[in-house]
């Protein structure tokens, strides 16, 4: 038995290694491109700029990472005081702010966009208001976010909400507007007649690609708002907050490290969503050129 298990494990290990090496081969151009960029950065920082404050090199950032991984921070959750790595606590706070903003944007944006796309009168009522509010940059809401909500994670969430909600509304609306007439008529002839049924069974699934694209844009915009949202002191932790914090302390290597972390995490979130949407939700669109 144990021998068999070991064999299976060994096979899995070999498979993993071989698939890894094949990915490396397959992605060689991309990998070389990244390595080249890092090398050029390192050379410029060390030999041309020669100033760690002005431009920290790749190795500076790497040693900053090693330094900060060992540091701990306190995290208080529901009366519990936890001792966790500071990077992890920053990440948790940022994800908290981000998910408050994004979830509320989804909960408000999707139903609103659906109603606007399906009922002409609602669109005529809501659209002018949206068109006036939409061009206001999310950062301009900071004073009112503080006055209305106070210095807490929900104020940061509000800012991210302002950035994320409009792409969701607009893409949901567009999706609903462009539902093909023949699908609606086919559904009607098959006995699907009320607005509720037509929205549930025809308009919503048919506009899912557009809604998913809207969520992707919204997540990008929301992530960009994160730094601004954490700038005004809603919490003592957070990836965006730490950029300012370390700037004041003149730790430019840590500033750059947090910047890179923000970029990397944003990429991961986007990939996760794409994987889920393309693989699960939209597998009926495979083979279409997007």
Nearest distance from C-beta of residue 229 to other proteins, angstroms:
36
Distance CA 24, CA 282 (A): 28
Distance CA 117, CA 85 (A): 47
Neighbours of 48 (CB within 10 A): 9
Contact mark string toward other proteins, 90..109, x via CB under 8 A: --------------------
Distance CA 198, CA 188 (A): 8
285: Cβ–Cβ under 8 A, 6 or more apart, which residues? Answer: 209
Token pair recorded at residue 63: 């040693």
Please select the residue that binds other proteins; options are 206, 217, 224, 265, rule is CB under 8 A: 206
Nearer to other proteins by Cβ, of 79 and 287: the residue is: 287
Nearest distance from C-beta of residue 118 to other proteins, angstroms:
17
Stretch that binds other proteins, among 43-51, 69-77, 225-233, 280-288 (CB under 8 A): 280-288
Nearer to other proteins by Cβ, of 124 and 188: the residue is: 188
Nearest distance from C-beta of residue 130 to other proteins, angstroms:
28
Stretch that binds other proteins, among 15-23, 99-107, 202-210, 267-275 (CB under 8 A): 202-210
Please select the residue that binds other proteins; options are 86, 146, 208, 273, rule is CB under 8 A: 208
Contact mark string toward other proteins, 163..192, x via CB under 8 A: -------------------xx-xxxxxxxx
280 binds other proteins (CB under 8 A): no
| Residue located via tokens 């408000």 | 108
**Phi-psi group of 251: left, alpha or beta (phi > 0 → left; psi -120 to 50 → alpha; rest → beta):** beta
7: Cβ–Cβ under 8 A, 6 or more apart, which residues? Answer: none
């Amino acid at each position: 038995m144990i021998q068999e298990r070991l064999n299976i494990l060994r096979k899995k290990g070999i498979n993993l290694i071989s698939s890894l090496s094949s990915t490396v081969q397959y992605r060689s151009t991309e990998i070389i491109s990244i390595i080249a960029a890092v090398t050029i950065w390192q050379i410029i920082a060390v030999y041309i700029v020669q100033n760690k404050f002005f431009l920290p090199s790749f190795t500076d950032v790497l040693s900053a990472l090693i330094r900060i991984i060992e540091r701990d921070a306190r995290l208080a959750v529901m009366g519990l005081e936890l001792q966790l790595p500071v990077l992890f606590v920053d990440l948790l706070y940022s994800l908290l702010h981000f998910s408050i903003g994004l979830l509320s944007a989804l909960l408000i944006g999707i139903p609103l966009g659906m109603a606007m796309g399906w009922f002409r009168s609602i669109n005529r009522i809501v659209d002018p208001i949206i068109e006036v509010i939409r061009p206001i940059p999310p950062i301009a809401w900071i004073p009112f976010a503080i006055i209305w909500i106070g210095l807490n994670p929900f104020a940061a969430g509000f800012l991210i909400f302002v950035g994320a909600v409009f792409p969701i509304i607009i893409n949901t609306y567009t999706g609903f507007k462009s539902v093909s007439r023949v699908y609606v008529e086919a559904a009607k002839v098959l006995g699907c007649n009320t607005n509720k049924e037509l929205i549930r069974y025809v308009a919503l699934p048919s506009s899912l690609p557009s809604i998913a694209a809207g969520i992707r844009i919204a997540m990008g915009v929301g992530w960009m708002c994160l730094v601004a949202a954490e700038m005004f002191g809603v919490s003592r932790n957070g990836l965006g907050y730490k950029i300012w914090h370390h700037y004041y302390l003149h730790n430019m290597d840590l500033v750059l490290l947090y910047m890179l972390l923000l970029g990397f995490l944003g990429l991961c979130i986007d990939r996760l969503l794409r994987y889920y949407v393309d693989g699960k939700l939209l597998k009926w669109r495979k083979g279409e050129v997007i």
